[in-house]
Amino acid sequence: MLSLKSIDKDFGATRAVVNVTLEAEPGAVLGLVGENGAGKSTLMKIAGGIVRQDRGVVSLDGEAMAGLGPAKAIARGVVSVFQELTLVRSLTVAENLFLSAPPRRASASIDRRKLEVDARALLESYNVGASATAIVGDMPLGQQQMVEIVRAVRRKPRVLLLDEATAALTAAEVQWLMRIVEGERKRGTIILFISHRWEEITTFCQRVAVMRNGELVTLADVDDVSHERAVELMTGARLGGVFPAKRSPAGSGLLQARGLASDVLQGVDLRLAKGEILGVGGLVGQGQDALLKSLFGDHPLRAGEIFVEDRPARFRNPRDAIARHVAYVPQERKVEGLLLQKSVAANLSFAILRQISRLAGFIDRKAERRIVADAIDRLKIRVVSASQAVGQLSGGNQQKVLLQKWLLTEPAVLLLNDVTRGVDIGTKTQIYAIVAELAASGMGIILYSTDAHELVGLAHRVIVMTEGRIRGELAGDELTAEGIVRASTSAEDGRAAGS
Amino acid sequence: MPLGLSGIRRQGAIGAIATFLALFLIDLALKGGHFSAFDLKTLCMNVLPLALVALGQFFVVMTNGIDLSLGPVMSVAGAVAALTFSTSVFGALVLALGAAAIAGACNGMLVVRLRLPPILATLATMSIFQGVALVIMPSPGGNVPPGLTDALTNGLDWAPTPLLLLIAAAAVASWIMSTPLGLWLRAIGGDEGGTRSSGVPVRIVKFSAYVIAALLAGLGGFYLAVATASGSPTIGDSFILLSIAAVVLGGVSITGGRGSTTGAVFGALTLTIIGRLLYFADLSSFYQSLINGVILIAVVGLATVRQGLAKLWRAERNAR
């Protein structure tokens, strides 16, 4: 039996897992469900001995396990399969399958013939059509995921942890995994299974644990929980008054896109009116990032047309997009958006250097100071002085600096890429108010968010994306958090229809 | 050979072999098609130290690292050997390699334990080892037994000792790459996080890469001291960048994961033959560094263009 008692885990100010106690037994697959950031993956990594909990006890058949690291966890029979593959893409399938202990000859050299023969036999025994000598990086994602799963189960684990292991699989491949999990379950393996797709939870699992904001809200038999009930439990009752009142958009068209296609996007059409907030939802990594970046000239398109105010606007680079008053606020502000060692002032004026440059490229420092002081005031950015380094600000204030930086370019179209992720609720409320105000002033805003409630609270319309396509559009009474979650996870609108 | 012909092609050594052969033919033509046993011997003598340190660099580059200190490790090892030949030849070799191993262990600890970026860690130790070499041997000198120099530089006509040593070193390096350690080095260069999650002891493997690299550089320094019949505290400095250039010329990916020991050896051979060509073309050796750079850009540029085309072609095929 795998037992977790009173587990707590914080990452900085974020409480990832809060006082979770649960047990998983052989013979019953335990499903873990919850929204993005609910703490499922962290809990699974703690259960697998890979992440060390701050408080609480993890034990497997009575032995304590904590922060073992991958090698020791595997040695204890605890094996994980994550959504992000851990196969080495530059190696062959065979090399990956036996990476930690390849067969050797007396000379200590790897016995390559035996390696390939063993790999082929292993792949055949699990009905995987991949070639043992293929380079992993050249294979389709689904096959890579299958190889990773085969590598996990071949170790005959005592505990098998599957974290969104089905995310890259086609419907037929999910059936394949189903048979493997069933076999492992009968063998007496303890199995934890994370998925965003409810129908997978009902077919793979006997028990289900629902998490919200790091807490375990329900632990029950799968048969006793309906999809509706699970969605309710996952989303919970929210605080009122966080979102500003919605005003109807001004109406006239601002941006149009037709047939956007790239290595990620599979033909996306959309339109945006002045003053409209268009929400983009769906599971993580379904092409939302690429969609926003493509509108900003930062994602190469194979085909498609974009118009801003009826003029062609398929930009080759962000510089062209900025010139046409399109602004993009990225998600990973530490990577894409801000120079952390530089001052607030320098960061704010970075995108408008051309406007405040005078003869021969000298910067008009007086104009810069005025604009920066205005901006800090308007957004209520909490700083000691404009010369303070951005890296010293809190996450929420960093995000406000980033937002303001782009507002200074006076955009007509504002693209927001999950900008409130990891931001506390107080700052979120302020950002929401700013976004609503900007829309009211006639700006068109496209808002991608992993938080369904944020989309419902702010957007006039929400499109839900799956695998690079728009799989649903919600507006009016249909626009609810449950509706968005269902559209992104249910089989009818989701993958099964497409494959 | 563990890789076989297709493996060598995949690992990018073909380009290095072709470049070497082309330059070698030019060299041959310039001298009227005459290639004597003496020519073979001098070529091997000239290439051996660079080949040894390039093989060392290969192991580090394989893990997506870089070792700027290998040149000075050669100086230290050569100086230690030159100062201790009076005890015994074997003692001098052991002491030289011991010093190199300690240097490699320092690099390994800095990268693995303190998690310093390899380029910074080895930039610092490069300077430190340069200092160590100067402290233990302020000016060139020391004592090398003449018999040893004779034994390690001459040998049979068409099988001179430096050629045998070169083949032996290449064989040992190739053998290491055929063991699980070699697979793990390649895996780390491909994806360190994934390799760790697969249960491979990543830190031990990376540490060994730096120790093996320093040992090979130590051997190179030892040979250099023997061949020149004296130690010199700055003799390794020119190998700092040459060792990296040789590895890259040999088709090894500078970000790790891809490449072969054969490639590294042929990279060293290419750089050496360029030096010979300049000598026979009556160009000042001052041009050598300039020409090395141009050839490096040409070879790496060609490889990059080829990879880019292959990628485009794959993308095209997948789109259909």
pLDDT tens readout for residues A418-475: 887 766 666 777 788 888 888 988 899 999 988 888 898 899 999 999 888 998 899 8
Both structure tokens of A25: 């037994």
Contacts 24+ apart (CB under 8 A), B112-120: B112/B203, B112/B206, B112/B207, B118/B60, B118/B65, B118/B66, B118/B67, B119/B66, B119/B68
Both structure tokens of B139: 């000016």
B132: left (phi over 0), alpha (psi -120 to 50) or beta: alpha
Q: Which residues in chain B are contacts of A263 at CB distance < 8 A?
A: 315
State the maximum Cα–Cα separation within chain B, in Å, rounded to a whole number: 72
Contact B198 A263 (CB under 8 A): no
Q: Assess contact for A447 and A417: CB atoms under 8 A.
A: no
Q: Which residues in chain B are contacts of A87 at CB distance < 8 A?
A: 191, 194, 198
State the maximum Cα–Cα separation within chain A, in Å, rounded to a whole number: 78
Whether A95 and chain B come into contact, CB under 8 Å, resolves to yes
Query: For A261, which residue in chain B has the nearest alpha carbon?
Result: B319
CA B206 to chain CA mean position, Å: 17
Report which secondary-structure segment, H or E, holds A217. Answer: strand A215-221
CA distance to partner chain A, nearest, from residue B47 (Å): 28
Residue A18 is given by DSSP the state E
Q: Rounded to 5 degrees, what angle do the CA atoms A70, A3, A101 make?
A: 25
Q: Compare CB distances from A112 to B2, B196, B315 and report the shortest one's residue.
A: B2
- pLDDT tens-digit map of B91-138: 999 999 999 999 999 999 999 999 999 999 999 999 999 999 999 999
Whether A113 and chain B come into contact, CB under 8 Å, resolves to no
Q: With bands split at pLDDT 50, 70 and 90, how would you rate the model's confidence at B269?
A: very high
Give whole-number Cα distances, A484 to A75, A419, A479, B240, in Å: 41, 19, 7, 59
Q: Which residues in chain A are contacts of B191 at CB distance < 8 A?
A: 86-90
Residue A30 β-bridge partners: A192, A207
Both structure tokens of B128: 């430190």
Cα separation, A147 vs A135, whole angstroms:
12
Phi then psi for B127, rounded to 5 degrees?
-65, -40
- pLDDT tens-digit map of B134-162: 999 999 988 899 899 999 998 888 899 99
> In this structure, which amino acid lies at residue A463?
I
Whether B183 and chain A come into contact, CB under 8 Å, resolves to yes
Interface with chain A: mutation pick from B63, B175, B198, highest number of A CBs within 10 Å:
B198
The reported pTM is 0.73
Q: Compare CB distances from B187 to A88, A101, A104 and report the shortest one's residue.
A: A88
Alpha helices in chain B (DSSP H): 4-10, 13-30, 37-62, 70-84, 89-112, 118-136, 146-153, 161-178, 180-190, 192-197, 202-227, 239-249, 261-280, 286-319
Both structure tokens of A282: 């769906």
Contact B197 A109 (CB under 8 A): no
B134: left (phi over 0), alpha (psi -120 to 50) or beta: alpha
Contact A89 B175 (CB under 8 A): no
Mean pLDDT of A83-110: 91
Cα separation, A453 vs A459, whole angstroms:
10
> Residues 225..264 of B with a Cβ closer than 8 Å to A: which?
257-258
Mean pLDDT of A105-128: 95
Q: With bands split at pLDDT 50, 70 and 90, how would you rate the model's confidence at A166?
A: confident
- pLDDT tens-digit map of A167-209: 778 778 889 999 999 999 999 999 999 987 788 899 999 999 9
Interface with chain B: mutation pick from A99, A139, A154, A161, highest number of B CBs within 10 Å:
A99
Residue A334 is given by DSSP the state I
Burial class for A53, CB neighbours closer than 10 Å (0-12, 13-18, 19+): buried
Both structure tokens of A402: 């980033």
Inter-chain contacts counted by CB atoms under 8 A, chains A and B: 78
- pLDDT tens-digit map of B233-253: 999 999 998 999 999 989 888
A325: left (phi over 0), alpha (psi -120 to 50) or beta: left
Whole-angstrom Cα Rg for chain B: 20
- pLDDT tens-digit map of B17-54: 988 999 999 988 888 888 899 989 999 999 999 999 99
SS3 A305: strand
SS3 A299: coil
Owner of token pair 């290969």: B58
Cα separation, A27 vs B266, whole angstroms:
58
Q: What share of chain A is helix, strand, coil (3-state, %, to 5)?
A: 35, 25, 35
Q: Assess contact for A480 and A454: CB atoms under 8 A.
A: no
Give whole-number Cα distances, A39 to A214, A390, A427, B155, in Å: 5, 29, 22, 69
- pLDDT tens-digit map of A196-246: 778 889 999 999 999 988 889 999 999 998 887 887 787 765 444 567 777
Q: Rounded to 5 degrees, what angle do the CA atoms A83, A85, A89 make?
A: 155
Closest CA to B221 of B101, B81, B95, B98: B81
Contact A99 B200 (CB under 8 A): yes
Query: For A262, which residue in chain B has the nearest alpha carbon?
Result: B319
Q: At a CB cut-off of 8 Å and minimum separation 6, what does A84 contact?
A: none
Report which secondary-structure segment, H or E, holds A10. Answer: strand A2-11
Whether A359 and chain B come into contact, CB under 8 Å, resolves to no
- Quick one: pLDDT at residue A93? 96
Range scoring the smallest mean pLDDT among A401-405, B110-114, B122-126, B215-219: A401-405
Closest CA to B138 of B83, B70, B218, B89: B83
Closest CA to B130 of B173, B74, B82: B74
Cα separation, A377 vs A185, whole angstroms:
60
Q: Assess contact for B192 and A91: CB atoms under 8 A.
A: no
* DSSP E strand boundaries for A376-436: 413-417
Residue A29 is given by DSSP the state P
Q: Which residues in chain A are contacts of B311 at CB distance < 8 A?
A: none
Cα separation, A445 vs A431, whole angstroms:
13
SS3 A272: strand
Whether A89 and chain B come into contact, CB under 8 Å, resolves to yes
- pLDDT tens-digit map of A276-299: 999 999 887 889 989 999 999 999
Q: Compare CB distances from B183 to A86, A102, A107 and report the shortest one's residue.
A: A102
- Quick one: pLDDT at residue A496? 37
> In this structure, which amino acid lies at residue B95?
L
Q: Which residues in chain B are contacts of A109 at CB distance < 8 A?
A: 2, 175, 178-179
Dihedral angle of Cα A44, A48, A53, A58, to the nearest 10 degrees: 110
Contact B198 A88 (CB under 8 A): yes
Q: Assess contact for A314 and A294: CB atoms under 8 A.
A: no
CA distance to partner chain A, nearest, from residue B182 (Å): 9
SS3 A79: strand
Contact B196 A100 (CB under 8 A): no
Both structure tokens of B91: 């003692």
Could you give the strand order of the β-sheet that contains A30-33, starting from the edge strand earlier in sequence?
Answer: A78-81, A159-163, A190-194, A30-33, A207-212, A215-221
* DSSP E strand boundaries for A103-164: 159-163
CA distance to partner chain A, nearest, from residue B184 (Å): 7
Query: Is residue B10 pLDDT above 60, yes or no?
Result: no
Q: Assess contact for B219 and B97: CB atoms under 8 A.
A: yes
A218: left (phi over 0), alpha (psi -120 to 50) or beta: beta
Choose from A19-23, A33-37, A393-397, B194-198 the range with maximum mean pLDDT. A19-23
Helix axes A112-125 and A141-154, enclosed angle (nearest 10): 100
- Quick one: pLDDT at residue A229? 83
Mean pLDDT of A12-29: 86
Are β-strands A266-273 and A253-261 bridged in parallel, bridged antiparallel, or unpaired?
Answer: antiparallel
Cα separation, A448 vs A470, whole angstroms:
13
Mean pLDDT for chain A overall: 85
Contact B187 A108 (CB under 8 A): no
Mean pLDDT of A79-90: 86
Closest CA to A215 of A485, A454, A12, A16: A16
- Quick one: pLDDT at residue B4? 45
Cα separation, A18 vs A214, whole angstroms:
5
Report which secondary-structure segment, H or E, holds A15. Answer: strand A14-24
Burial class for A253, CB neighbours closer than 10 Å (0-12, 13-18, 19+): middle
Report which secondary-structure segment, H or E, holds A181. Answer: helix A171-187
Closest CA to B109 of B122, B91, B93: B122
